[in-house]
């Protein structure tokens, strides 16, 4: 895995970028933190933030020209936050005495500061604190320069005098009534290690570096009006602070330019979407200054700008409290561990790889791709936890074994007379359709593995419909597309699977695949772009529905689009067309079509972290008061398990009498296997008239209470596992016995898992009390 590329992706995330207000504050007051403290009523802490960032905060806090406010995104939703008024309130309610600072020995060098206005005073105080000997040259007989012009309602004369006195108290040497000219400046430059020139009255033209404020290569630095060319106090203070830093670096003989990209104001990459933000009108102060309560209310209006669009849409990112920025760092760390615990494994296996994050991100950061690369890397490095995807991969192997897998061409006209040659009867409208085969397989119906598992009785009806409605022969191909291997990062298995599918495709003379499953569509697009595919739902939308009068009670449905179809807008349209044709109203979900969410099955999260999967289900099903309509089998099964009435399109297109399709329960893991095998057998028997072996009879008649069935599901234990354990125990008597209860307890290792079954015998029945498993092995001596 290319970790540099990974980190680059993470660094593009703007989660940690500053808001526009702070980026446009020349001294970068941490405005969100500042406002958050006010919101909590902690004016003292808010005051400390001002003290930390704003030079002469008691003065500037009263007179700042607040460029921040004009960039506040709240302005579009009720008016900009009154940051300057909040600062005044904080000075009133949160002020603390300045900390007593012990003077630092002045050993680092001598600096002359020309002009005792705001910028010069800032330089003097900043450098004095750092241990430089400062001499202030002022042409008038008092400190403060233009600050005195601001005396008024906010800044009182007494306060200004008091603040300026603090400068004198520091022991900084001040020379008043000093008229400076070019010659005098030349003298000072040789007399002092560095000179700062902040006097607005300086007429000479000076060429200075716009980043460091250094004049040429000289030991002369400028600031104040010379740099800002405006009357802004905050820009003036900022220029002084920046010049002081340059002087310090200059005298310490280190780079003047390193890591200074974001000094002064800058453009933040953060973009805040306020289109859905509730409008709240600015709090007006009732007297000359906000009351505490008014300040708190005003602070509450702050949006606390931060890009969380991907997190807002994703239960997984929120559950682990991860921005892509932080997530990538965790992955980077995990990838670099040589000895130690990979704590991020579970998180990495809890992403559904649904792709909504990328859709929501205006920078197109795709955690789906990051996670996929990471899982593949984990597999390559042999660091993928085996148990995470083991069951899903075994399930895939089952589907591609002879127990389900099947490839057949459409039966000939003679063979299939009863099946497809059907007279047109107006009320049935091509239930099966006319035979118009050609002998060449134009289409191959590939229902996937989950549709036959959940809807075993409908596969044949769908096949008959297709044969009757599309031009050319329709063959059938049962199997698994390989989505589990893809999600598990198993490129080895994926490659084999793709080759197998390609081989069938070639042998069938390159037919178009008709796909019913959105995961298959995704896999075919990703790995088999040469194969032309068509969605089953597009065909229903185009050719018409097989039955009329399906709807019994008109109702409104919310459509949950399958995440695998995110980019397939034609398919979204087809589904809506079908639903409307069936007579239902549609109420769209907020997250739908290209912005749809995952049900919780994607990425094999259902197997790797059931709690996370449940989180997705719970969140999604409460997004609509209506019944949900889905067209992916796993979405249906998960939502129904979560207690939500959910229809699959198949429930509506092929409704069953006496059955409420919306509550049809998910088949168990064992039933999914049985159903798939059943589909294969019944197709072979009923469509191809082939002899099929009936499944071998179970060895034992098991009686399994509901609680144990639930354990089987949660612990991924199949009926066949239990049968095997019981058979082995009964035949070998290798088991434990509990004389008190009469129960037996037996185990058997099957592949990598040891299954335990506690059971009792009741004549010819075996009563199952409990089942569990572990992967750790006992070493036989």
Partner 1 sequence: MYQEKEDYQSWICDKCQKELELTKVKVHYLEGEFEVELLNCPTCHQVFINESLALGKMAEVEQGLEDK
Neighbouring residues of 351: CB distance < 8 A, sequence distance ≥ 6 = 316, 367, 368, 371, 603, 605
Minimum CB distance to partner 1, residue 341 (Å): 5
Neighbouring residues of 88: CB distance < 8 A, sequence distance ≥ 6 = 61, 62, 154, 289, 290
State yes or no: residue 343 binds partner 1 (CB under 8 A): yes
Residue in 698, 741, 737 with CA at minimum distance from that of residue 720: 698
Question: Which residue, 701 or 738, has its beta carbon nearer to partner 1?
Answer: 738
Measure the CA dihedral 133/138/141/144, to 10°.
Answer: -90
State yes or no: residue 707 binds partner 1 (CB under 8 A): no
CA distance 75 to 325: 28
**DSSP E strand boundaries for 423-542:** 441-446, 473-478, 512-515, 533-535
Phi, psi of 614 (to 5 degrees): -60, -35
CA distance 457 to 466: 16
Minimum CB distance to partner 1, residue 345 (Å): 5
Per the listing, tokens 């670096």 go with: 249
**Residues touching partner 1: how many (CB under 8 A)?**
36
Minimum CB distance to partner 1, residue 349 (Å): 11
Instruction: Determine the interface stretch with partner 1 among 178-186, 334-342, 396-404, 702-710 (rule: CB under 8 A).
Output: 334-342
Question: Which residue, 512 or 711, has its beta carbon nearer to partner 1?
Answer: 711
Q: Which of 5, 156, 440, 734 binds partner 1 (CB under 8 A)?
A: 734
Alpha-carbon 527 to chain mean position? 25
State yes or no: residue 530 binds partner 1 (CB under 8 A): no
Minimum CB distance to partner 1, residue 525 (Å): 32
Site string for partner 1, 294-333 (x = CB under 8 A): ----------------------------------------
State yes or no: residue 775 binds partner 1 (CB under 8 A): yes
Minimum CB distance to partner 1, residue 715 (Å): 8
Kindly report the number of other CB atoms within 10 A of residue 770's CB atom: 14
CA distance 739 to 228: 93
User: Binding to partner 1 (CB under 8 A): which residues in 577-616?
Assistant: none
Instruction: Determine the interface stretch with partner 1 among 278-286, 454-462, 632-640, 771-779 (rule: CB under 8 A).
Output: 771-779
Question: Which residue, 379 or 638, has its beta carbon nearer to partner 1?
Answer: 379
CA distance 357 to 316: 11
Instruction: Determine the interface stretch with partner 1 among 341-349, 468-476, 629-637, 686-694 (rule: CB under 8 A).
Output: 341-349
Site string for partner 1, 736-765 (x = CB under 8 A): xxxxxx--xx-x------x-x---------
Q: Which of 387, 428, 438, 556 binds partner 1 (CB under 8 A)?
A: 387
- Pairing mode, if any, of strands 646-648 and 627-630? parallel
Question: Which residue, 646 or 728, has its beta carbon nearer to partner 1?
Answer: 728
For the chain, give the longest Cα–Cα distance. 117
State yes or no: residue 342 binds partner 1 (CB under 8 A): yes
Q: Which of 204, 207, 530, 781 binds partner 1 (CB under 8 A)?
A: 781
* 3-class state of residue 114 by DSSP: strand
Residue in 485, 494, 634 with CA at minimum distance from that of residue 564: 634
Q: Evaluate the CA torsion angle 573, 575, 581, 587 in order and state its sign.
A: negative
Q: Which of 166, 386, 551, 663 binds partner 1 (CB under 8 A)?
A: 386
State yes or no: residue 733 binds partner 1 (CB under 8 A): yes
Structure token digits, residue 635: 């979405």
State yes or no: residue 735 binds partner 1 (CB under 8 A): yes
What is the gyration radius of the CA atoms in the chain, in angstroms? Answer: 37
Question: Which residue, 422 or 700, has its beta carbon nearer to partner 1?
Answer: 700
| Sites of contact with partner 1 (CB under 8 A) | 340-343, 345-346, 385-388, 732-741, 744-745, 747, 754, 756, 770, 772-781
């Amino acid at each position: 895995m290319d970790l540099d590329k990974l980190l680059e992706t993470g660094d593009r995330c703007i989660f940690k970028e500053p808001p526009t207000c702070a980026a446009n504050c020349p001294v970068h007051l941490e405005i969100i933190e500042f406002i958050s403290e006010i919101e909590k009523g902690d004016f003292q802490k808010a005051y400390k933030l001002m003290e930390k960032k704003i030079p002469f905060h008691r003065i500037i806090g009263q007179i700042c020209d607040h460029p921040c406010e004009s960039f506040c995104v709240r302005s579009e939703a009720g008016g900009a936050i009154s940051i300057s008024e909040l600062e005044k309130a904080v000075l009133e309610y949160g002020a603390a005495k300045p900390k007593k600072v012990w003077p630092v020995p002045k050993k680092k060098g001598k600096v002359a500061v020309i002009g005792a206005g705001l910028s010069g005073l800032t330089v003097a105080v900043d450098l004095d604190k750092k241990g430089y000997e400062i001499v202030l040259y002022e042409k008038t007989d008092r400190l403060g320069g233009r600050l005195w012009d601001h005396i008024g309602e906010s800044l009182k004369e007494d306060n200004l005098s008091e603040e300026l006195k603090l400068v004198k108290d520091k022991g900084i040497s001040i020379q008043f009534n000093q008229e400076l000219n070019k010659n005098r400046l030349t003298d000072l430059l040789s007399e002092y290690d560095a000179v700062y020139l902040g006097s607005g009255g300086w007429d000479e033209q000076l060429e200075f570096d716009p980043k460091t404020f250094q004049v040429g290569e000289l030991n002369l630095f400028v600031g104040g009006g010379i740099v800002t060319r405006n009357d802004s106090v905050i820009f003036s203070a900022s220029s002084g602070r920046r010049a002081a830093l340059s002087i310090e670096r200059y005298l310490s003989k280190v780079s003047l330019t390193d890591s200074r990209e974001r000094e002064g104001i800058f453009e933040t990459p953060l973009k805040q979407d306020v289109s859905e933000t509730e409008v709240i009108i600015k709090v007006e102060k009732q007297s000359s200054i906000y009351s505490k309560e008014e300040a708190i209310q005003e602070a509450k209006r702050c949006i606390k700008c931060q890009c969380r669009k991907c997190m807002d849409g994703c239960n997984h990112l929120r559950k682990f409290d991860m921005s892509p920025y932080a997530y990538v760092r965790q992955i980077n760390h995990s990838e670099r561990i040589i000895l130690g615990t990979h704590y991020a494994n579970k998180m990495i296996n809890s992403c559904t790889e649904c792709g909504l994050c990328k859709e929501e991100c205006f920078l197109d950061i795709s955690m789906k791709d990051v996670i996929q690369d990471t899982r593949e890397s984990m597999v390559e490095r042999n660091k993928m936890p085996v148990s995470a995807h083991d069951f899903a991969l075994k399930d895939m192997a089952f589907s591609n074994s002879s127990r389900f897998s099947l490839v057949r061409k459409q039966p000939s006209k003679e063979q299939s007379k009863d099946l497809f040659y059907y007279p047109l009867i107006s009320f049935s409208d091509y239930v099966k359709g006319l035979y118009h085969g050609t002998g060449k397989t134009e289409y191959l119906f590939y229902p996937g593995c989950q549709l036959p598992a959940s809807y075993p009785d409908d596969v044949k009806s769908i096949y008959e419909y297709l044969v009757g409605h599309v031009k050319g022969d329709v063959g059938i191909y049962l199997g698994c597309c390989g989505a589990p291997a893809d999600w598990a990062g198993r490129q080895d298995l994926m490659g084999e699977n793709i080759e197998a599918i390609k081989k069938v495709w070639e042998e069938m003379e390159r037919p178009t695949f008709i796909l019913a499953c959105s995961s298959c569509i995704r896999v075919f697009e990703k790995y088999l772009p040469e194969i032309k595919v068509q969605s089953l739902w597009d065909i229903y939308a185009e050719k018409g529905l097989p039955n009329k009068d399906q709807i019994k009670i008109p109702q409104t449905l919310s459509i949950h689009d399958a995440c695998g179809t995110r980019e397939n807008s034609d398919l979204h349209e087809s589904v809506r067309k079908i639903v409307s044709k069936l007579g239902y109203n549609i109420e769209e979900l907020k997250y739908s079509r290209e912005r749809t969410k995952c049900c919780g099955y994607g990425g094999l999260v259902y197997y790797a972290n059931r709690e996370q999967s449940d989180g997705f289900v719970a969140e999604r099903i409460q997004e609509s008061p209506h019944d949900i309509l889905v067209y992916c089998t796993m979405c249906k099964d998960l939502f129904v398990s979560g207690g939500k009435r959910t229809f699959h399109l198949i429930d509506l297109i092929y409704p069953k009498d006496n059955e409420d399709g919306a509550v049809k329960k998910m088949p168990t893991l064992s039933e999914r296997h049985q159903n798939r095998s059943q589909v294969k057998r019944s197709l072979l028997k009923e469509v191809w008239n082939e002899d099929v072996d009936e499944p071998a009879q179970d060895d034992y008649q098991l009686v399994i209470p509901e609680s144990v069935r639930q354990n089987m599901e949660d612990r991924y234990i199949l009926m066949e596992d239990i049968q095997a354990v019981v058979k082995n125990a009964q035949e070998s008597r290798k088991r434990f016995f509990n004389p008190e209860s009469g129960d037996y307890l037996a185990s058997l290792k099957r592949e990598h898992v040891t299954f335990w079954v506690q059971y009792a015998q009741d004549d010819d029945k075996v009563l199952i009390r409990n089942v569990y498993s572990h992967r750790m092995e006992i070493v036989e001596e």
